[in-house]
Amino acid sequence: MLLDAVVLVLREVLEAAVLVSLLIALSLNLSLRLRWLAWALPIALLGTYLFASSLATITDALDGAGQEVVNASLQIGIYLLIVAIVCCVLLLQRSPSLTSLLYVAMTLAVSFAMIREGSEIWIYVTGFAAVTEYRTAIYAGSAIGAGIGLSVGVLLFAGLRAMPASRSYATCLAALGLIGAGMVMQATLLLTQVDWLPAGKPLWNSSALLSEQSIAGELLYAVFGYEATPSAIQVGLYLGCLALVAVLPFVLRGHDRGRDA
């Protein structure tokens, strides 16, 4: 039970920790304050509580598709917020007034990620800690799992801060694009699960090469949304969402240049 709790909580914390680390590093690169983080924590806690405590109602809503639709909405929301963050960051020098919009987008993106991962931890911990014989193992395991997950986030942050500023900035933006595209891909899986999207045949199967259950697989899942058996819809959406973020620097810079002329 102890080990199960470690693994479960680690998996959930990892995904949110990577996003938070990237956004903190990005903020420091841009010499922004971290007050968005202070807003994100209470919003995430409240959202986690509301989501977890009404999960039974949510699950039965929309003819049994409620849980997937809410989770997919959060994931697609994170992608859209990441697009907004990247736009704001690229235009920030020219329009410093975008700073407040950037703070709001960062706050919401981190809150959404924490609500998604936090509610599952909440349900798990409250569900099993209610059983006396499991209680100690659940609390200890969850604390260890959360500790490892946060440590990975801190290591990533330290790595990003150790880089030269311009490379760190570019790495943050690229990683945000990858995370966002991965979120959209995971959202399509959830919508397929409730038959809102058609299921496609897997384009390939790389599970023998890199299992999703391995540590590397889990890490790649957290950063790139790694999927061993993706369908054509998923691969298409992933590449499309990634391409949209990738062209933003060129489009927005071109826009700026147009204004200079």
Partner 1 sequence: MRASAALIFWLLLVPVAQAKTPLFEIEIRDHLFQPSELRIPAGTKVKLIVYNRDPTPEEFESYELNREKVILGGRKANIFIGPLEPGIYPFFGEFNPKTAQGRVIAE
Contact residues for partner 1 (CB under 8 A)? 4, 7-8, 55-56, 59, 64-65, 67-68, 120, 123-124, 127-128, 130-131, 189, 192-195, 199, 201, 207, 211-213, 227-229
34-39 contact pairs (CB < 8 A, 24+)? 35/103, 36/103, 36/104, 36/106, 36/107, 36/110, 37/107, 37/110, 39/103, 39/107
C-beta closer to partner 1: residue 65 or 88: 65
Nearest-approach distance from CB 224 to partner 1, in angstroms: 16
Of 105, 106, 85, 257, give the one whose Cα is nearest residue 174. 85
Of 53, 33, 20, 258, give the one whose Cα is nearest residue 151. 20
C-beta closer to partner 1: residue 212 or 256: 212
Of 75, 97, 82, 108, give the one whose Cα is nearest residue 26. 82
C-beta closer to partner 1: residue 35 or 195: 195
Nearest-approach distance from CB 110 to partner 1, in angstroms: 22
C-beta closer to partner 1: residue 5 or 98: 5
Nearest-approach distance from CB 128 to partner 1, in angstroms: 6
Q: Do the Cβ atoms of 68 and 193 come closer than 8 Å? A: yes
Nearest-approach distance from CB 189 to partner 1, in angstroms: 5
Nearest-approach distance from CB 190 to partner 1, in angstroms: 8
The total of other beta-carbon atoms located within 10 Å of residue 66's CB is: 18
C-beta closer to partner 1: residue 201 or 257: 201
